[in-house]
Structure 1
Amino acid sequence: MLTKTESQERVFRLQVMLRSKDIHAALFIMPIDVYYFAGTRQNAILWIPAEGEPLLLVRKSLSRAMDESPIAAIRPFPSSKEFASVFSEDLSTIGMTFDAIPVQQHLFYSRALPGRTFVDISMMLRELRSVKSPFELEQLRLSAGKLASVFAEVPQFLKAGMRELDLSAEMEYRLRKAGHEGYVRMRAFNQELFFGLAVSSGGLNGGFFDGPVTGKGLSSASPHGASCDEIRVNQPILLDFGGVFNGYISDMTRMFVIGTLDAELQRAFDVAIEIQELVRRGMKPGAICEELFFAAAAMAEKAGLGSCFMGMPGEQAKFVGHGVGLELDELPVLAKGFTMPLQAGQVIAVEPKFVIPGKGVIGIENTFAVTDDGGLRLSDLPDDIVFLGA
């Protein structure tokens, strides 16, 4: 549960940023943004003035919000007639997260608060949230540890002949038993994810998901993740799952093989491990995001694997690492065009992967925190491919 001190520190950091941009207040309506500051995911909006105390207005459930949130001022959501009177007219420039709110909602609040100017604070919020507090780092460490414990059970149930779907279901079952909350929240429009990926031959399918491996999925309506294809011997099996515990998401990929692995795939895996270490060493405050991506891509190219790095040839993802926290796709992103420097406390899932046509998918992923000594890994599960007898 979010403490009063933690909430106040987050609010204070935002208020400093608002004042630096001459923005009078922020109005948050996206549930995960409200949760970040207020510690409750009830149906509510959160008003944070650049000076003064926040106000949480709750549609449902007011009683639960009052039990969960450390925000001092919590009230029922007012009627339309009363809404404008709740907010000082002097606070005329209001920040909202245009990256995530529907146009309909923007229009509603524009009408409800006439005479105000609404400005975009999406990047401001995302940059603020990208730097994790010690409390958040501990939540992510716990998440990664629980996720790793389920990955360690895979040799107990992975068998040749089972479907990708069966393997995925076994992972999902064990994750839920461990306390996985089910929601793998993503901010990007038109992206969605159910738990994660369990793919073998199905991993060679392209798809909409903005990642290196998509999976065939179960239908054209759900073209992502595990399929009904059977897992066969001597094929790489990729498991990529998010752990979601107390709201915080860790991300991990491990490889399994029943039998033996093609030599080219083994070499690609070895290169993925080298890329992960290159990026990990470079994850220090001040390092430029895109430079880490360029270094990773150059290593893949030098190994003769550039065309299949981070996805199918022609459909490659344009990153090698992405921020994680309360959402799977947070800042920073290790990608071309992201010239921001890393900051201590940011947490990044590094996932160098290859999709080799006709052979399979291969790679690794771990979640790291940015420190002065490079990336600090948040789980201790070995990276090695796990080979099982046929």
Structure 2
Amino acid sequence: MLTKMEVEQRIIRLQHALRTKGIDGALLIYPIDVYYFSGTRQNATLWVPAEGNPRLLVRKSLSRAKEESLIEATGPFPASKEFPNLFGEEIRTIGITFDVLPVQQYNYYAKLLPGREFVDIAGINRELRSVKSAWELDRMRASGAALSAVFEQVPGFLKTGMREVDLAAEFEYRLRKAGGEGYVRMRAFNQELFQGLAVSATACHPGFFDGPVTGRGLSAASPHGASTEEIVTNAPVLVDYTGVFDGYIVDMTRMFVVGTLAPELEQAFATARAIQDYVAINLKPGVVCEELFFKAAEMADAAGLGQNFMGAPGENAKFVGHGVGLELDEFPVLAQGFKVPLQIGQTVAIEPKFVLPGLGVIGIENTFSVSEQGGEKITLLADDVVYL
């Protein structure tokens, strides 16, 4: 369970960032942000002044929020006419996370608080949340161990003739039995995900999801993940799942095959592992994110696989790693244009993958934390292809 000291430290860091930017306070509305800074994910708004004590204003459920919240001033959301009284005249500039705030909500608060300037604190919030505390890293290690234990069971139920969706169902059943929460929260607009994917015959299908592998899915309305196509011998089977425990997400991919792999796929897998190992070794504070992406792309090019790196030719994703935590798409991103240095405690899923139309998809993914010694692997399971 989240501790009061943990929440207090998060509030202190946020208040320091607000004062540094000359912002009088933060109005947090997005549920997972409210949880991060309060300890409860009830329907609530959190007001954090740059100086002074925060207030949690709860719409529903107030009784549960009072049980869970670590904010001393937790109470009901006030009537509209009373809401402005919570903000003194000295409060002129208010930070809101524009990256996830609907226009309707913005207009609602702007009407309640006329004369105030609303500024974007999405970057402040995401950078603060990207650096995990020792408490958070322990949660993520536990998530990694639980997810790895489910992956270990795959050889016991993967068989030719079963459909991709059958494999997915078997995996998801065990993941849920292990206590997996299933909520794969994503901040990006127009992205959605049902826990993960288990794909083989349809692995090369392109799709909307901002990642290297999409799968065909079950319909045009759900065009991601497993399909009803059968798994056959000598075809790579990619199993890519998140593990969500105590709110914290880890991300992991392993490769399986009933039979053997084509030499081109074996070479691509060896390249993927080499890229992962290089990036992981260099997950150190001060290393610039985009430089790791450039090196990964260079290694793919050198292996003759540049056009297949991180997606089918012409459908390539433009990253090799993404931050994870309470959301699947946190900072940092190992991508071109992300010119910021890594920080100790950030957690990154490294996922070099190759899509070879006509042959299949191959790759690896593990979650690591940034440390002085390089990436600490959180998803502790052997990376080898599992031959059945």
Q: TM-score, structure 2 length as denominator? A: 0.99
Structure 1 distance, partners of 2:150, 2:71, is 36
Structure 2 distance, partners of 1:65, 1:140, is 24
Structure 2 distance, partners of 1:276, 1:362, is 13
Residues 327-368 of structure 1 show CA distances to partners (whole Å, capped at 9, x for unaligned) of 000000000000000000000000000000110000000000
Residue pair 2:200, 2:360 contacting (<8 A) in 1 also: yes
Report what 2:247 is aligned to: 247
Structure 2 distance, partners of 1:48, 1:369, is 29
Structure 1 distance, partners of 2:367, 2:132, is 13
Report what 2:28 is aligned to: 28
Report what 2:224 is aligned to: 224
Superposed, which structure 2 residues align to 1:20-59 within 5 Å?
20-59=20-59
Residue pair 2:56, 2:75 contacting (<8 A) in 1 also: yes
Structure 1 distance, partners of 2:33, 2:88, is 22
Superposed, which structure 2 residues align to 1:1-390 within 5 Å?
1-388=1-388
Amino acid in the other structure paired with 1:351: E
Structure 1 unmatched ranges of 5 or more: none
SS at match of 1:208: coil
Residues 271-324 of structure 1 show CA distances to partners (whole Å, capped at 9, x for unaligned) of 000000000111100000000000000000000000000001001000000000
1:247 Cα deviation from its structure 2 partner: 0.4
Structure 2 unmatched ranges of 5 or more: none
Count of aligned positions: 388
SS at match of 2:239: strand
1:379 Cα deviation from its structure 2 partner: 2.5
1:81 Cα deviation from its structure 2 partner: 1.2
Residue pair 1:44, 1:57 contacting (<8 A) in 2 also: yes
Tell me which stretches of 4 or more aligned residues in structure 1 moved more than 6 Å: none
Residue pair 1:318, 1:335 contacting (<8 A) in 2 also: yes
SS at match of 2:243: strand
Residue pair 2:250, 2:379 contacting (<8 A) in 1 also: no
Structure 2 distance, partners of 1:248, 1:332, is 16
Amino acid in the other structure paired with 1:377: K
Q: TM-score, structure 1 length as denominator? A: 0.99
1:30 Cα deviation from its structure 2 partner: 0.3
Structure 1 distance, partners of 2:175, 2:38, is 27
Structure 2 distance, partners of 1:144, 1:324, is 12
Residue pair 2:252, 2:379 contacting (<8 A) in 1 also: no
1:100 Cα deviation from its structure 2 partner: 0.4
1:18 Cα deviation from its structure 2 partner: 0.2
* Sequence identity percentage: 66
Q: Which moved more, 1:353-362 or 1:79-88?
A: 79-88
Amino acid in the other structure paired with 1:52: G
Amino acid in the other structure paired with 1:190: N
1:89 Cα deviation from its structure 2 partner: 2.4
1:92 Cα deviation from its structure 2 partner: 1.1
SS at match of 1:6: helix
Residue pair 1:2, 1:69 contacting (<8 A) in 2 also: no
Amino acid in the other structure paired with 1:234: N
SS at match of 1:239: strand
SS at match of 1:188: coil
1:232 Cα deviation from its structure 2 partner: 0.5
